Amino acid sequence: MSGLSKKQESLIKSLYTRHGRKKHNLCICEGLRCCYEVLNLNPQLVEIAVCSEDFDLSTLPAVASEINFIRVPQEKMKSFSSTVASQGVLVVAAKPEFSKSDDAPADPYIFVLDRVMDPGNFGTILRTAKSVGLTELWFTAGSVDAFNDKVIRSAMGAQFGMTLREFSDLDVLAEELRRFGYNRIFRTTPHEGESCFTAPDLFEKTAIIIGNEANGAAELDGSLSLTIPMPGNYESINAAQAATVILFEYVRRSEGGA
């Protein structure tokens, strides 16, 4: 029980910035549910584990007993946390090594985010993609940092159990899709294109792109338009909601829902 060193303390603080995460190749997972998932999915990535004096380690997976949790006063804990109510536990984790770019993806279709900027949207989409059984998420530079603490929290640590692939832009990403045989590429658009509920073979060696919150997905030669019917005639739905509709349409079709 040596307490947290000054060096560890400033390392943790630096990981709340993009610069710090890049420099150290580490990130912060905060809160019970998020730490739970990281320990569950990939405990060997944990570099530093910190909890408040009264935190009950038995609420975490059993592997927690093999990790040296440094206990600190609650006030200290709160000084780190970006959430208003710190939940008394955080871990510093190495970013997972992604599969080599030559590994072919195993997923039937590839879900793609093009410059999704909101941490809550990006994280929620990751969590939801994992919940439907996808193993990968592809995205373009210009998206929010996938290892931002808010993204990790919204994703409940799904980052630690999925393969993420980042590309400089949609053209480069599309080239890679086609190399792996994902030839039909759909861009979601608000009011035109095929309905996601009736488009045939929507999830068979395809890719589906959700675009930036304000501007949608970038133009892409040879891509098809996909739309989510919206009878309320309302402006549009949130990017994470659009992603959810499409991800679960895949589940529905797989389950043979009528």
CB of 252 to a second copy, least distance (A): 4
Binder among 124, 140, 212, 223 for a second copy (CB under 8 A): 124
CB of 245 to a second copy, least distance (A): 5
The residue type found at 71 is R
**Contact at 8 Å (CB) between 111 and 138?**
yes
* Among 176, 187, 182, 192, CA closest to 220: 187
**Contact at 8 Å (CB) between 70 and 49?**
yes
Residue 41 corresponds to which tokens in the numbers above?
A: 């999915």
CB of 214 to a second copy, least distance (A): 10
Q: Is residue 4 a contact point for a second copy (CB under 8 A)?
A: no
**Contact at 8 Å (CB) between 67 and 46?**
yes
CA atoms of 114 and 250, how far apart (whole Å): 20
CB of 199 to a second copy, least distance (A): 9
Q: Is residue 150 a contact point for a second copy (CB under 8 A)?
A: no
Binder among 67, 70, 117, 230 for a second copy (CB under 8 A): 230
Q: Is residue 179 a contact point for a second copy (CB under 8 A)?
A: no
Binder among 44, 58, 198, 215 for a second copy (CB under 8 A): 198
Torsions phi, psi for 211 (to 5 deg): -100, 180
Site string for a second copy, 22-41 (x = CB under 8 A): -----------x---x----
Binder among 197, 205, 224, 225 for a second copy (CB under 8 A): 197
CB of 124 to a second copy, least distance (A): 6
Question: Per residue in 147-175, is it b (16+ CB within 10 Å) or e — as a string?
Answer: bbbbbbbbbbbbbbbbbbbbbeebeebbe
Q: Is residue 212 a contact point for a second copy (CB under 8 A)?
A: no
**Contact at 8 Å (CB) between 165 and 129?**
no
Binding site for a second copy (CB under 8 A): 33, 37, 120, 124, 127-128, 130-134, 156, 158, 195, 197-198, 228-238, 240-241, 244-245, 248-249, 251-252, 254-255, 257-258
